[in-house]
Amino acid sequence: MDTLIVDGTIAPLEVAHLPYRNGGSYEDYVGERGLLRLGKKKWARHVGKVIALLKHGLQADYVVLGGGQTKRLKKLPEGVKLGTNVNAIKGGVRLWDR
């Protein structure tokens, strides 16, 4: 699940299913299926494009990437941080902690 946090308010999203190219979704291009189908170099290029689209479209200060494929990126685009599911859970708990 994708999440947008605005002024401490959590907004759950499922942007991976949004249309991206040639009738495919973001998930088809930047998920594991995309990596296997496109190869590492083209896949990484699409990851960068999708990050840029999401940052601009959602007006995000930065993007946190997680998931098993992120370790395959040689270089992170500007405004991108790596995260893990553990960090996501801790961050969610902190939002409710006074």
String of DSSP letters for 69-89: TGGG-SSPPTTEEE--HHHHH
Distance CA 6, CA 78 (A): 20
- pLDDT above 90 covers a percentage of the chain that reads 29
Domains contained in the chain, CATH given = 2-96 (3.30.420.40)
Distance CA 74, CA 93 (A): 31
pTM: 0.76
Contact in structure between 31 and 39 (CB atoms under 8 Å):
no
Distance CA 43, CA 84 (A): 20
Once rounded to an integer, what is the mean pLDDT over residues 38-42? 94
Q: How far apart are CA 82 and CA 70, in angstroms?
A: 8
pLDDT surpassing 80 at residue 51: yes
